[in-house]
Amino acid sequence: MANRKLRIGLIGAGGISETHCHGWSKLADCELVAITDMNAQAAQKRAQDFKIPSVESSAKTLVARKDIDVVDVVVPNFFHKEFSIAAMNAGKHVLCEKPLALTRKEVLAMIAASEKTGKKLMAAQHMRFQQETEAMKAYITSNPLGDVYYGRAWYNRRRQLPCRPGFMYMKNSGGGCCIDVGVHVLDTALHLMNNFEPVSVTGVSLTKLARRPDAWSEWGTIDKENLDVEDFAAGFIRFANGAALSLECSFMLNQKSKYTSRIDLFGSEAGIAWPECEVYSTSASKCFVDSKIEFLPGEAPHHKVISAFAESVMGDTEVPVPPSQSLAVISILEGLYKSQKTGSEVVLAKA
């Protein structure tokens, strides 16, 4: 592979595929060779815009091609497991849009396929690659916060429910804001905490605003009659080391800002605020010691996650978002949904 480009095939031509195509196109040592989608017209449009030479009739024919090294799965959540496993079984490495899958059982099946075939598997958790996240992670790796015993993480929007079939219907997405945006901030929080050993979760998953007669979204027309996903979720997670994390996410929340995403971590030595990149501590001389991490502008995180995965494939190194960590994230989110149904705390299986 060192003497030729890494060849990419895309399964999916929806909205996020454009971002992925831009990301792959920026890499001199990668080339897009094929794309497929159930909507043939959408696939043809992506192929035309990004000079992709081949449009396949199905995912099955795409993964069977001998001239593809990596399959990028950018389809509704419900199909992540099926297409990813098919690609790995056909000898392809897989980059899959978040969430990696919808349940712990599905992620375990994907990990098993990766281990059996020796092919790499990674969820495209792009928020790990934001400049703020990378700067904060680098700082606290060199300057530990001590015992991180509590954290808060939230990702809330105001009247910004995505009004496309891939987001409004459980049969396609497997959930609403929790599985769509909650997965982002939860993964980032665990990454900064360096803690992927959850033991239990309790939470709520509610649809309080999206089906109201007067409900509306800035992002399209809500199908109020058939929408069956939550527009708000919140949870409380306990970890094996005694730490805890609160999680909150929404598409429709009645708040001042149209969008807020934040993580606060509290350690025995210092605390941090993300994405502000602020650090808070005290001194023995009764002083408050606060600081702010500054960083230079960088590449778009969606593109960086693609570049990082490509480097791991070409260099045969561990992927920067190990699927074992995605397993912890999905276990928590699945547990939160179960807690809503049972009305009680859910004990999670060990990874």
Cis peptide upstream of residue 99 (ω within 30 degrees of 0): yes
Evaluate if residue 49 carries a pLDDT over 70.
yes
Evaluate if residue 4 carries a pLDDT over 90.
no
Domains and CATH numbers, the chain: 6-124 (3.40.50.720), 128-299+330-347 (3.30.360.10)
pLDDT at residue number 75: 97
pLDDT tens string 161-218:
999 999 999 999 999 999 999 999 999 999 999 999 999 999 999 999 999 999 999 9
Q: With the CA atoms of 278, 284, 287 and 289 taken in that order, what torsion angle do they form, in degrees rounded to the nearest 10?
A: -10
Q: What is the mean pLDDT of the chain?
A: 97
Evaluate if residue 137 carries a pLDDT over 80.
yes
Percentage of residues of the chain with pLDDT beyond 70: 99
pLDDT at residue number 2: 54
Q: 3-state DSSP helix/strand/coil percent for the chain, to nearest 5?
A: 35, 25, 35
pLDDT at residue number 213: 97
pLDDT at residue number 1: 47
- Alpha helices (runs of H) in the chain, residue ranges in sequence order: 15-25, 40-50, 59-64, 80-89, 104-117, 131-142, 165-168, 170-173, 177, 183-193, 301-315, 323-342
pLDDT at residue number 350: 85
Confidence of residue 91 (pLDDT cuts 50, 70, 90): very high
**Three-class DSSP category at 249:** strand
pTM over 0.95, yes/no: yes
